[in-house]
């Protein structure tokens, strides 16, 4: 277990590495009351950079919240668990954080399969769940009569429309194919991409699957090439996305690749080889090329908190930081609106948020019972990796 308290911390206290910081902050809080916020994410493995980014965004927001007096007169405490990208481990961790630790709100589900495993339990428990990453459409649109699932992140069905529009308008695609991870996230995007293609009047050259542990996908790509694919929609996390690009390099096939944001979650530019720079990847936020005063202030705050951060290239993936930072501040507003740590009251507190000036944008009534996603297509930007840094495409 990793436990953080920020009651009396200043930015100067964050000297040293993030690991040293986390160790230093692992102090018992039994002697005082706190508002506990849980986080379940991939803190190890190929997507660990995403888990680290979410942690950093939440930590920065929590420090600011506690510097302003905390919530309901108490400091905020962050408790993390590593789901290792495994839905079963994520569900076990959720039960522990809700039942034993008594978290007021649970953040997490870096991967869509993990989030989908948590949704029924969180709705049954009547505890708000905040998603700062996983984009699967059914996470928030889950059909529950009383829905406790909120999100500050991309949404597959909206991302898929943007992917199709880019392939058509920029690359003139008329017969695109799909390379999708073989899990519920891939299934979510198959539905979204198929609907978006139908709406645009385009066929698909084919739908191919990639497994998380595949080391060669030349056969799948060869089928798409033989079917006349003139662009590829890629939906997968870091490892399999890297294998797609390495396989394209081995084939010598220079086809446009328009991607969901999965490659941003780890060491993609290192693992994918020379074709990494060719991937056009959707994001909700980037520090690079961002002239917003708040972006500049937040980057400076991150540098002060984490000395290893020297510039925008060191905060990849920025979406994890930005989504989590805004989501934590919106959660603080929901708890303030609720005036208690009661789950149903906090749920209503999210609906009662009117305006919040966030890092990604200024939020106006971000959550309603009919739409529990705070971000939409107008918040998306296309980027690519340049020298390990995620740069907006002009």
pLDDT at res. 110: 81
Q: What is the SS3 string spanning 173-215?
A: CCCCEEEEECCHHHHHHHHHHHHHHHHHCCCCCEEEEECCCCC
Within this chain, domains 2-154+291-376 and 156-283 share the same CATH topology: yes
pLDDT at res. 25: 38
Selected from 3.40.50.2300, 3.20.20.30, 3.20.20.220, 3.30.70.260, the CATH number assigned to the domain covering 2-154+291-376 reads: 3.40.50.2300
**CATH number for the domain whose boundaries are 156-283:** 3.40.50.2300
Burial of 100 (0-12, 13-18, 19+ CB in 10 A): exposed
Alpha-carbon distance of 336 to 281, in angstroms, equals: 36
Alpha-carbon distance of 249 to 244, in angstroms, equals: 9
pLDDT at res. 44: 85
Cα angle: 153, vertex 35, 85; to 5 degrees: 40
Dig out the tokens for 80 from the structure: 């993390």
pLDDT at res. 9: 34
Domains of the chain, residue spans: 2-154+291-376, 156-283
Whole-model pTM: value is 0.84
pLDDT at res. 23: 31
pLDDT at res. 156: 92
Contact 388, 282 (CB under 8 A): no
What string of pLDDT tens digits covers the 394 residues of the chain? 444 433 333 333 333 333 333 333 333 334 349 999 999 998 887 778 888 999 999 999 999 999 999 999 999 999 999 999 899 999 999 999 999 999 999 999 788 999 999 999 999 999 999 999 999 999 999 999 999 999 999 999 999 999 999 999 999 999 999 999 999 999 999 999 999 999 999 999 999 999 989 999 999 999 999 999 999 999 998 899 999 999 999 999 999 999 998 898 767 888 899 999 999 999 999 998 888 999 999 999 999 999 999 888 788 789 999 999 999 999 999 999 999 999 999 999 999 999 999 999 999 999 999 999 999 989 999 999 888 788 899 7
Burial of 1 (0-12, 13-18, 19+ CB in 10 A): exposed
Element (H, E) at 294: helix 293-305
């Amino acid at each position: 277990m990793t436990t953080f308290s920020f009651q009396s911390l200043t930015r100067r206290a964050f000297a040293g590495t993030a690991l040293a910081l986390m160790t230093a902050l692992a102090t018992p809080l039994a002697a005082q009351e706190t508002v506990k916020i849980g986080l379940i994410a991939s803190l190890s493995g190929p997507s660990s950079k995403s888990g680290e980014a979410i942690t950093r965004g939440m930590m920065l927001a929590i420090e600011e919240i506690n510097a302003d007096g905390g919530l309901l007169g108490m400091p905020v405490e962050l408790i993390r668990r590593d789901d290792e990208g495994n839905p079963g481990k994520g569900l076990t961790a959720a039960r522990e954080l809700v039942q034993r630790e008594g978290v007021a709100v649970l953040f997490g589900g870096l991967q869509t399969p993990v989030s989908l495993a948590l949704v029924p339990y969180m709705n049954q428990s009547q505890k708000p769940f905040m998603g700062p990453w996983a984009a699967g459409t059914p996470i928030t649109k889950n059909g529950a009569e009383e829905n406790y699932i909120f999100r500050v992140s991309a949404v597959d069905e909206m991302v898929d429309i943007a992917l199709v529009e880019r392939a058509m308008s920029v690359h003139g695609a008329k017969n695109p194919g799909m390379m999708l991870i073989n899990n519920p996230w891939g299934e979510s995007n198959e539905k979204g991409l198929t609907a978006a293609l139908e709406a645009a009047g385009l066929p698909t050259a084919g739908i191919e699957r990639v497994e998380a542990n595949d080391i060669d996908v030349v056969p799948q790509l060869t089928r798409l090439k033989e079917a006349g694919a003139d662009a590829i929609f890629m939906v997968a996390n870091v490892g399999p996305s890297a294998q797609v690009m390495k396989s394209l390099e081995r084939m010598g096939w220079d086809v446009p690749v328009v991607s969901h944001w999965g490659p941003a979650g780890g060491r993609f530019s290192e693992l994918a080889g020379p074709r990494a720079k060719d991937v056009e990847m959707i994001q909700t936020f980037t520090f690079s090329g961002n002239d917003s005063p708040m972006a500049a202030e937040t980057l400076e705050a991150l540098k002060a908190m984490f000395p290893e951060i020297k510039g925008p290239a060191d905060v990849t993936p920025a979406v994890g930081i930005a989504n989590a930072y805004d989501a934590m501040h919106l959660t603080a507003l929901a708890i303030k609106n609720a005036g208690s740590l009661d789950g149903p009251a906090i749920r209503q507190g999210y609906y009662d948020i009117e305006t919040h000036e966030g890092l990604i944008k200024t939020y106006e009534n971000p959550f309603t019972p009919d739409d529990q996603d705070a971000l939409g297509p107008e918040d998306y930007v296309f980027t690519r990796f340049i020298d390990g840094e995620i740069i907006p495409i002009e």
